[in-house]
A and B are shown apart, each in its own frame.
Chain A
Amino acid sequence: ELKVEQNPLFLSMQEGKNYTIYCNYSTTSDRLYWYRQDPGKSLESLFVLLSNGAVKQEGRLMASLDTKARLSTLHITAAVHDLSATYFCAVLPLNNDMRFGAGTRLTVKP
């Protein structure tokens, strides 16, 4: 069974600092997604990574995928308060049974 593990689950950062969230998964897949969820809100799609070595960047967030290591990272550069949210990675295997990580709750403090 596909397992998706994120770490850390909780992350408290100061504004201006850099940090990386990790997403490991247990089966072969080259379709990896990152989402953001604000409290009480639905999910917002951030990135879709569809091949080994894929790198996507949007503002202060950059996502990458290493399918051989079964690892994706979400790197945060010079964090700002507006980035506070829960971030989920998700893996879409061949049977389309999308599996989500438990989420990383990010708090950016001034």
Chain B
Amino acid sequence: DAEITQSPRHKITETGRQVTLACHQTWNHNNMFWYRQDLGHGLRLIHYSYGVQDTNKGEVSDGYSVSRSNTEDLPLTLESAASSQTSVYFCASSSGDRGTEAFFGQGTRLTVV
């Protein structure tokens, strides 16, 4: 069965370190998204991609970057981790049809100490 997987599930890192969160989907979806989820804020969009070599900033993109070298993967990099980036991160994907659902990974809980 097709799926979307995130790794690691949990990560503790120190302030200032570079961290990369992986997202891999086997749906062959063109669209991929990264969200962060914080209490009181719901899900906020960090970056998104509509296809290979396409990346775009979302609502809360400062301090984050993504790259899309193939259809399956959209890694999220925190260039210099800050305590404010402690959060739960979700990757999602959807097909190119505007009406279809998004499929979510299980999330990565990141703690920056």
Co-complex (A, B): no
**B positions within 8 Å CB-CB of A:** none
